Structure 1
């Protein structure tokens, strides 16, 4: 069986977990706190980052590499799209959330509301949190724009763009960084994601000492 080294609020771990569940790939979860820099974990991935997927001598690191591996080796439930154009658009949007959303929103919230509070035992910087909130609102505007033209983020079918976006948004939402009012298309889409049995286990998890807002796992927000 595959063994997935993950962290509860790592959006890249969540992306892999959601996609593997959709594809029906069974795996064992191993909790990793990357900031502890364990030698055994760093030997698996010299970057020292989650997620890492392992089966015997095979080690896959980086969420994009992991999911590309399963797209290439599993025929069932393709998530990239049926045409070269659809696959290019999916990859563009995955990169948007992995790089732009994470850099402008997720990393800031994780640093201030998770790492400072639970690891450093310090107080968050309100200015940085407000900055993340403003930038999150612009990203929700962009999601609204996409969904006014498409059934799903990448086009007509649910796929990896939706999985990546939901993974990043769920972490930001857990940390109280999203204001859903005024974003009806995004809210309706995310409610549909939250109702999926393959996504519900992620919403059920909690980080000790850091509870999410009351609406976090509710379908009606």
Structure 2
């Protein structure tokens, strides 16, 4: 693990049990993501890509191994401390936006800041500024049902980045979008990566998208290999 490492995994393994049957999904995975890195993880459906991403983000527990987020072993921490670390250091974007339907775009994006203890007014001001940056200045007070698919994903991306996390973990972030909208969302992700210095780890089936990253890792038979 280097001083620049924002996420580092060591000998990660994950197995699922169903009666006497054991399924080994991840086996001895070690990966270091440094500040500003752009890493794509590709592989067939069911290969464990999402499981790996969830373990890296502290949302799922490994059967064995460790994950350090900015030098702290997230799976060795108490639940409250781990949640605080996730809130401050990691951002998450999924194929589905997961915006809260009863809140406006600006309220949804401000939510992680409010949860982290920032005053609501200050949180909404920062939220508005970031929504303007992702091209949603005209949609601040719209609820998710009033936004297009691309607009919802832009809002979800802004919410993931509002805390200026060390790393953005994205699971098929353009999977529900048409090609043109997907390209604009991914270009936005790369621009924000440059502007904020946030590292990216993206799980994707999109080879064109993966090819724009600095590193492409393939998950196959539980092992993570360089190159696709």
Considering the TM-score relative to the shorter chain, is it more than 0.5? no
Give TM-score scaled by structure 2 length: 0.32
More strand by share: 2
Structure scoring higher RCO (CA < 8 A, sep ≥ 6) equals 2
Give TM-score scaled by structure 1 length: 0.33
